[in-house]
Structure formats: structure tokens, C-alpha cells
Amino acid sequence: MKTKKIKYEAEYNFKLIGISSSEDDYRLSWKLGKIFKAEFIKQEDIEIKDNKYTETQKFVSYKCQPSNLSLNLRLVVNKTNIGYIVDELKNIDYFLQVFDSHDDAYLEKIISEIKAISSVSAVFNLDLSRIKSKEKLLF
């Protein structure tokens, strides 16, 4: 029987912000909530089975839907006790996925507001096309 290969290219409908901070996830989510004037709600852990590890990786995540803005946000912890969600970005502690983003100028405004948080050491506007394991961010 002849095999057919299907080539599939995932669609990434979000912008990605990387955050470096030693702050605990619940405290950072609270501080981000103050910026967006909305509450980040803790979600079920994101479970990823990676062949590099024997155990399933579990990553903490929070969701936010500010009523005053037409966008959705998801904060995801990059590191777990057995690895990273995105291995090539080990310097990033958190990812903020911005869905339905207005434009790049608005994204830069968000980044500058996050930089103002005292416990945040760095914020990056990440280019998804340059991330090798970006498919792990689709959940």
C-alpha cells in the first residue's frame, strides 16, 4: 500500500512576549493583572509528553480576558522540575501569549508596562518564526 504524507503547517494566532523574572508565578500573574485591570485565573497545568523525558512535563498557566480590551492573554511558566517548554529559551522564565493583538505598537506598549514591574529583569518581543520548538506553545 502506498503511503501518503501530509504536510501540515500550524497557524500561530498569537504574539509572544518572553519575561525574565525571579517572581513566583502567582505574584507575577497578580502584577500583570494590575496592568491589564483584570484577573489572571489559574488554569489546569499544561501537560506535554516529550520523548527526551520519561515523565510528562507539567507547566503552570494562567488566563486573562480583560473586559476593557479586545484580547486574550495566557501566562505560561517556561521551566518545570524536568525541563523547559521551549528548550532553546532557558533564559526566559515566563511566556505571555497575546491573542487577538491589535498591532505591534500596542504590543510594545504592553512590553514597556511589563518592564516597569520591579521584579522583572527583562522583557522580550519574541519572533515565533525563529523558535524551533514553537509547536509546544500550541495548547
Q: What is the pLDDT of residues 55-66, one digit of tens each?
A: 888 999 999 988
> How much is the pLDDT for 71?
84
- CATH code for the domain in which residue 79 is found: 3.30.70
Residue 59 belongs to some domain of the structure: no
Task: Specify if 115 maps to a domain.
Answer: yes
Number of domains, the chain:
1
Asked whether the predicted pLDDT for residue 8 surpasses 60, the reply is no
In a domain, 106, yes or no: yes
- 76-127 pLDDT, tens digit each: 999 988 888 888 999 999 999 998 766 778 889 989 999 999 999 999 998 8
63 belongs to a structural domain: no
Asked if residue 1 has pLDDT above 90, the reply is no
Domain presence at residue 103: yes
Give domain status of residue 30, yes or no.
yes
**6: in domain:** no
- The whole-number pLDDT of residue 106 equals 83
Distances in Å between the Cα of 49 and the Cα atoms of 35, 46, 52, 53, 96 are 33, 10, 9, 8, 21
Domain span holding position 119: 14-50+74-128
